């Protein structure tokens, strides 16, 4: 990023952190008991993956501040759910206390970052000067649409 502004949700540090934690959850959950495949394993993976997905959706809704905040709130709820499942995995002996602490540290950091974004939502949403920041020609194509399938 050369401008200092995120041009995509992928540029957001909170999104990058969510992907890191999701990857760690996936790797650790590979060792869970087979009978957990459709319960704990599925639940922890789904909630961990949903954090980043909700952040991406929030980015797409930033034209409307209330929708943006709603999706960030959903992302925060998913990270909290993931903390719950981390506790369950620890209680079942599937992950070590050190792994649980590391995951929870990352999830709590994500929570703080999301809450900061929620508090500053107006700086992410809309266009304060009413100007389109992309060149309008980016939305048009010179090539005709292909209609023969």
Q: Judge contact between 58 and 68, C-beta under 8 A.
A: yes
CATH label of the domain that carries residue 100: 1.20.1440.60
Cα torsion 92, 93, 97, 101: sign: negative
Q: Which residues of 19-41 are buried (b: 16+ CB within 10 A; e: fewer)?
A: bebbeebeebbeebeeebeeebb
Asked whether the whole model's pTM tops 0.85, one would answer no
Higher pLDDT, 38 or 144: 38
**Average pLDDT for residues 111-124, to the nearest whole number?**
93
Please count the structural domains in the chain. Answer: 1
In a domain, 67, yes or no: yes
As a whole number, the mean pLDDT across the chain is 87
State the Cα–Cα distance between residues 56 and 61, nearest whole angstrom: 9
Supply the range of the domain harboring residue 108: 9-126
State pLDDT tens for residues 88-102: 999 999 999 999 999
State pLDDT tens for residues 15-31: 999 999 999 999 999 99
Q: Judge contact between 78 and 55, C-beta under 8 A.
A: no
């Amino acid at each position: 990023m050369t401008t200092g502004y995120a041009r995509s949700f992928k540029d957001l540090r909170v999104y990058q952190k969510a992907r890191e934690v999701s990857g760690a959850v996936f790797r650790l959950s590979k060792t869970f008991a087979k009978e957990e495949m459709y319960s704990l394993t599925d639940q922890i993976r789904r909630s961990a993956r949903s954090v980043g997905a909700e952040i991406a959706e929030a980015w797409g809704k930033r034209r409307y501040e209330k929708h943006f905040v709603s999706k960030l709130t959903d992302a925060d709820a998913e990270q909290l759910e993931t903390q719950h499942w981390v506790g369950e995995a620890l209680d079942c002996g599937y992950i070590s206390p050190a792994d649980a602490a590391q995951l929870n540290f990352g999830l709590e950091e994500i929570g703080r970052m999301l809450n900061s974004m929620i508090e500053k939502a107006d700086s992410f949403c809309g266009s304060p000067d009413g100007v389109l920041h992309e060149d309008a020609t980016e939305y048009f194509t010179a090539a005709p649409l292909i209609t023969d399938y």
